[in-house]
Amino acid sequence: MVEMRDDALETIEAPKRSRYRRSILRLRSASMGAYPLWRSRLLFLAGGIGVGLAAVLMAKGADLAQDGFRRLTAPSPLIALVLTPAGFALAALLARTVFPNSQGSGIPQVIAARHARDADFRFSLISPRVALGKVLVLFLGLLSGASAGREGPTVQVGAAIMAAFGRLTPDRLPGLLLAGGAAGVAAAFNTPLAGIVFGIEELGRAYEARSSGLIVAGIVAAGLTSLGLLGNYTYFGTTQADLPLAASWIVPLIAVAGGLAGGLFSRVVILFARGLPGTSGRLIKTRPVAFAAACGLCVALCGLASGGGAYGTGYEEARAILHGDAAAGLAYAPLKFAATVLSSISGIPGGLFAPSLAVGAGLGGAIHGVLPDMPVGALVLMGMVAYLTGVLQAPITSFVIVTEMTQNHTMVIPLMVAALLADAASKAVCRGGLYHTLAEIMLERADAPAQAVTKTG
C-alpha cells in the first residue's frame, strides 16, 4: 500500500515539476530577451548625455568665437576685408582635406547616413573625426565672421556620438541616428518638443514606433544635461506678443514673403551643391579654396554694409528686434540673407537655423517699419516662422520651435497658418526640401563610382 501511494504521488508530482521547469525556462528566456532592450535603453540614455555635453560645449565655443571676431575687428571694421576671406579659405581647406564630410549644415549628412546602404560610407559621414572637425572648423568660421549657426552642426555631432554607441547594437543604428539628431536640436535650443517634431518631420520623415520611446529618452537625457549645466532658459526670452484679429490680414503677406525668400535661398544652395554649368562651375570645382575666399570677401562687404549685423549667428540681432530694443531697418534682412547664402555655398561648416531666424526677424522688423501700428513682436514671430519654413519646408518644426523659444502661446494659430502658407510658397520656388535634396546629392555621388565599376565590368 505504501509503495502504491508513493507511485501515485510520483505520478501526481511529475506534471507539477514539468510545469515548474517550463516556468523557469520562460523566465530565463524573458530575461535574455530583456537584456538587449535594457542595453538599448542605456545606450540611448548615455548617448543623450553625451549629446547634451556636446551641445553645451558648442554653445560656449560659438559664443567665444564670435566674441573673438568682434575683438579682432574692434580696431577697425575694415580688418574683416582680410580676416574673413582668409578664415573662409582656411576653413574650406580643412573641411575638404583634413575633415571631409564636415562641410555645410550637417543635417544632410545625417539624413544620408540613415539611408546609406554602404556601411563605410555611412560612418564616413558621422565618424568621430568628422564630429571633431565639425566643431573646430565651425569655430574657425565664426571667428572669421561667417553667417552660420551651431544647431545644424550639433545635429551631426549628436548623430556621430550616437553612432559611436551604435557600433555595439548595429540593428539600432537608424534609431540612434534619429535620436542623436533630434537630441542635438533639443539641447541646442532648449526645445525638447521641437527636437521630437524635428526628428519625425525632417530627419525621419516617418514615425518609427519601435524606437519612439528610446528617442524620447535620448532627448530627455540631452535636455537634462544641458539644463544642469546652463540652467533653464528661453532661447529668445519670453514674449507675450499678440496679433489683434483686425490685423490678421498681415499673416498671408508675411507668410508668402518669407516662404518665397526661404525657397529662393534653398534653390540657390542646391544649385551650387549640384554644380553650376559652364566655365563658372568648372572654376568653382577646380578652385574651391579660392572660391571660399571670394565668398568670405563678399560676406565681409555685407557685414560692413550692415554695421556688423550680418556676421555670426544673428542671435543678438534677432532677440533685440523681437523685443523692440532695436529697429531692423530695410537693409538688414537682405544683407543677412546674402551673407548666409555666401557662407552656405562656400563649403565651410555652419548651420542655418539661427541665421534663418535672424533673417525672418529682420523681415518682420522691416514690415513694422512700414506699418508702425502693428505689434512688432507678432510681426517678428511670424517672420521667423515663415522664413524658417521656407528654408526647411518643415512647417510643424518651424512653428513649434519658435513657440518654444519664446514661450508664446497666444500666437500659436497665426504661426500655424503662417507656416502652412509659407510652406506652399516655398515649394512654388523650390520643389524639394533643402536638407533631403542635399542628402540625395550625397547619396548619388557615393553610388556613382560603384555604378561606373559595374558598367566597365
What's the pTM value of the predicted model, to 2 decimals? 0.85
pLDDT at 299: 98
Place of cell 554653445: 59
- The helix (H) or strand (E) run that includes residue 377 is helix 376-392
Q: How far apart are CA 112 and CA 74, in angstroms?
A: 41
Cβ(153)–Cβ(163) under 8 Å?
no
Q: What is the pLDDT of residue 118?
A: 86
Per-residue model confidence (pLDDT) at position 2? 44
Q: What is the pLDDT of residue 33?
A: 45
- Given this model, what pLDDT does residue 13 score? 52
Q: Are 266 and 390 in contact (CB under 8 A)?
A: yes
Q: Is 116 left (phi over 0), alpha (psi -120 to 50) or beta?
A: beta
* pLDDT at residue 347 in the model: 93
Provide the pLDDT for residue 408.
Answer: 76
Q: How far apart are CA 90 and CA 106, in angstroms?
A: 19
pLDDT confidence of residue 83: 97
Nearest partner of 362 among 391, 332, 382, 340, judged by Cα:
332
Low-confidence ranges of the chain (pLDDT < 70): 1-41, 44, 166-173, 202-220, 223-224, 226-227, 229-237, 448-457
Say what the pLDDT of residue 19 is.
55
Count of alpha carbons within 13 Å of 322, Cβ hemisphere only?
Answer: 29
Domains plus CATH for the chain?
41-230 (1.10.3080.10), 245-442 (1.10.3080.10)
pLDDT tens digits, one per residue of 415-432:
999 999 999 999 999 988
pLDDT value, residue 34: 44
